[in-house]
């Protein structure tokens, strides 16, 4: 448009004598009548000034009306609240270069592709890194097999801790024996440069092998360090805050041995409002997604697996009467065991059994973790303060004699008090042993297999101090 205006101006001026327009208005002219000469001179001067104004000012104005190619197509450079823009122009404001790149929290569950997917999570089924997906595995050794093997233990209904992927190698069967092949790899997530809080969970829900050492670094910062599972502590959860400068958040498990990763949660720090990360355990299971044909065989279920399916399974959630549990769970509100109840508490101090005090924190939408019952004390409000009074008791469940697999979770969803030590034995077998919560690990889950011979499955928390119980899952094996 600017070029066209200049061209039109040049064509108009060319019709005048071939002199500079300003000079043309000022030079001496042939003799003419006095009135006519003055009039023509003034008119010619004004015409010259008008064309000069068009050349100097008009072209840039026309260019701005047509559009500046330096602005993105479809954007609106008018300030917010400026109503001078054309009516009906709903284009977005042009970028200023100062707004942070948007980022939503990422919750990743490591699991087989055909396992139930925890609500709100994306699935990593061991695949190689893919730019369109934005995450995956990269081998440290060029040309090595990237695909990780993943498994679902089917021990818990809480998929985030019931599934895992082998982080450092693959199992193959040679001459009838399962052999582990070390294939080092890292896991990466594409993110905008910035600061991130990363929570990672390692371990598995059934077995505690001394040969498995779980270690993982996040952007070079140690998160889980040398964790070896025990029956009382099958998972380790850690949170670190790191800086990403290259566009890829990197998790490196290669310092460990045969490590297994269960989940990772990534939250941006300082990049705008962001929901806090979902705790690493117990979201609800949505419908099972379709099986992806490219899945490799699930790694071995380890010979120590108890044979066959459970005869029955009972899930009990400990919570206040105001709380609610998901479908399939039985509720327990702290009642004493009576001849009319299938389970409840029995006092150990010789007196009548008092009802346990239970609570709901209201900080997570995961009912099994958000609720609890006090297992060892009662609180009373005395002289303006809450005081704890010992109330030792065991929790018992009426069952037939046989073999049972029992999973128990202790802790609470909001506070980490160093005065609270969670311990639990099941039929004399230690499940949770002296767990003191931290902000990185608010709950502890453990699974043990026991024999019942007296018609009562007994859970004893008395080795701890002010412990809190969240839920139990009881499966009869024989």
Return d(Cα 264, Cα 251) in angstroms, integer: 10
Which among 326, 327, 471 is positioned nearest to 395, based on CA atoms?
Answer: 471
Find the radius of gyration of the CA atoms of the chain.
36
Q: Are strands 330-332 and 312-318 parallel, antiparallel or unpaired?
A: parallel
Environment class of 336 (CB within 10 Å of its CB; exposed 0-12, middle 13-18, buried 19+) = middle
Residue-level pLDDT at 227: 92
E strand segments, 210-288: 214-218, 221-227, 235-244, 248-252, 260-269
Is residue 465 helix, strand or coil?
strand
Phi, psi (rounded to 5 degrees) for 245: -115, -15
Q: The dihedral of CA 384, 388, 391, 395: what is its sign? A: positive
pTM of the model: 0.42
Residue-level pLDDT at 331: 84
Return d(Cα 401, Cα 313) in angstroms, integer: 15
Do residues 374 and 320 make contact, with C-beta atoms less than 8 angstroms apart? no
DSSP per-residue codes, 60-95: HHHHHHH--TTSPTT-B-SPTT-TTSPTT--PPBPP
Residue-level pLDDT at 96: 44
Residue-level pLDDT at 359: 86
What would the two tokens of residue 207 be? 């077995």
Return d(Cα 371, Cα 470) in angstroms, integer: 6
Tokens 């297992």 correspond to 375
pLDDT tens sequence for the chain (478 residues): 444 344 434 444 444 444 444 344 433 444 444 444 555 666 677 776 776 666 665 555 544 444 444 433 334 443 433 434 343 343 444 444 445 678 889 999 999 988 889 889 999 999 999 988 999 999 887 766 778 989 888 877 677 888 999 998 888 877 777 788 888 899 999 999 999 999 999 998 888 888 899 999 999 999 999 999 887 788 899 999 999 999 999 999 999 999 999 999 999 997 543 333 333 333 333 333 333 333 344 444 433 333 456 888 888 999 887 666 666 788 888 889 888 788 999 998 877 777 888 888 888 777 788 889 999 888 887 888 888 888 899 999 999 999 999 999 999 988 888 889 999 999 999 999 999 999 888 999 999 999 999 999 999 999 999 999 999 999 999 8
Tokens 């005090």 correspond to 357
In total, the chain counts a number of residues equal to: 478
Return d(Cα 45, Cα 337) in angstroms, integer: 110
Return d(Cα 342, Cα 353) in angstroms, integer: 16
Phi, psi (rounded to 5 degrees) for 118: -60, 145
DSSP per-residue codes, 109-156: EE--TTSPPPTTPEEE-SPBPBTTTTEEEEESSTT---PPPEEE--S-
Q: How close are the terminal C-alpha atoms of the chain, in Å?
A: 88
Which among 421, 365, 456, 348 is positioned nearest to 119, based on CA atoms?
Answer: 365
Q: Are strands 163-166 and 330-332 parallel, antiparallel or unpaired?
A: unpaired
Return d(Cα 357, Cα 377) in angstroms, integer: 8
Environment class of 419 (CB within 10 Å of its CB; exposed 0-12, middle 13-18, buried 19+) = exposed
The packing angle between helices 34-53 and 2-14, to 10°, is 160
Do residues 472 and 461 make contact, with C-beta atoms less than 8 angstroms apart? no
């Amino acid at each position: 448009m600017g070029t066209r205006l200049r061209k039109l101006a040049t064509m108009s001026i060319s019709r005048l004598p071939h002199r500079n327009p300003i000079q043309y208005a000022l030079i001496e002219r042939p003799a003419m009548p006095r009135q006519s000469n003055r009039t023509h001179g003034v008119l010619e001067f004004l015409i010259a000034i008008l064309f000069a104004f068009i050349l100097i000012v008009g072209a840039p104005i026309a260019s701005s009306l047509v559009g500046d190619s330096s602005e993105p197509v479809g954007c609106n450079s008018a300030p917010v609240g400026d109503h001078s823009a054309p009516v009906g122009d709903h284009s977005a404001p042009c970028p200023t270069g100062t707004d942070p790149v948007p980022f939503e929290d990422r919750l990743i569950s490591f699991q087989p592709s055909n396992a139930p997917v925890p609500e709100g999570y994306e699935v990593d089924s061991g695949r190689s890194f893919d730019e369109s997906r934005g995450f995956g595995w990269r081998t440290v050794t060029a040309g090595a097999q990237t695909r990780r093997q993943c498994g679902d233990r089917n021990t818990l209904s809480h998929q985030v801790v019931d599934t895992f992927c082998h982080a450092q190698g693959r199992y193959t069967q040679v001459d009838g024996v399962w052999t582990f092949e070390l294939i080092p790899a890292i896991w990466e997530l594409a993110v905008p440069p910035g600061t991130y809080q990363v929570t990672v969970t390692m371990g598995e829900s059934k077995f505690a092998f001394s040969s498995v050492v779980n270690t993982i670094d996040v952007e070079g910062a140690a998160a889980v360090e040398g964790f070896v599972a025990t029956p009382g502590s099958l998972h380790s959860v850690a949170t670190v805050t790191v800086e990403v400068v290259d566009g890829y958040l990197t998790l490196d498990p290669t310092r460990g041995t045969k490590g297994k990763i269960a989940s990772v949660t990534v939250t941006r720090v300082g990049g705008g409002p962001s929901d806090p990360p979902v705790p690493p355990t117990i979201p609800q299971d949505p419908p099972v997604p379709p099986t992806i044909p490219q899945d490799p065989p699930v790694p071995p279920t380890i010979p120590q697996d108890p044979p066959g399916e459970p005869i029955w399974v009972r899930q009990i959630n400990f919570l206040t009467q105001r709380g609610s549990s998901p479908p399939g769970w039985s509720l327990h509100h702290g009642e004493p065991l009576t001849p009319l109840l299938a389970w409840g508490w029995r006092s150990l101090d010789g007196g009548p059994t008092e009802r346990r005090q239970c609570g709901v924190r209201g900080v997570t939408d995961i009912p099994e973790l958000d609720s609890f019952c006090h297992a060892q004390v009662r609180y009373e409000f005395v002289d303006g303060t809450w005081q704890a009074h010992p109330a030792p008791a065991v929790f018992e469940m009426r069952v037939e004699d046989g073999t049972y697999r029992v999973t128990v979770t202790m802790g609470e969803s909001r506070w980490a008090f160093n005065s609270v030590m969670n311990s639990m034995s099941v039929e004399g077998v230690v499940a949770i042993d002296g767990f003191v919560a931290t902000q990185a690990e608010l709950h502890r889950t453990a699974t043990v297999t026991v024999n019942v011979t007296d018609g009562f499955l007994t859970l004893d928390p008395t080795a701890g101090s002010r412990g809190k119980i969240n839920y139990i899952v009881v499966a009869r094996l024989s």
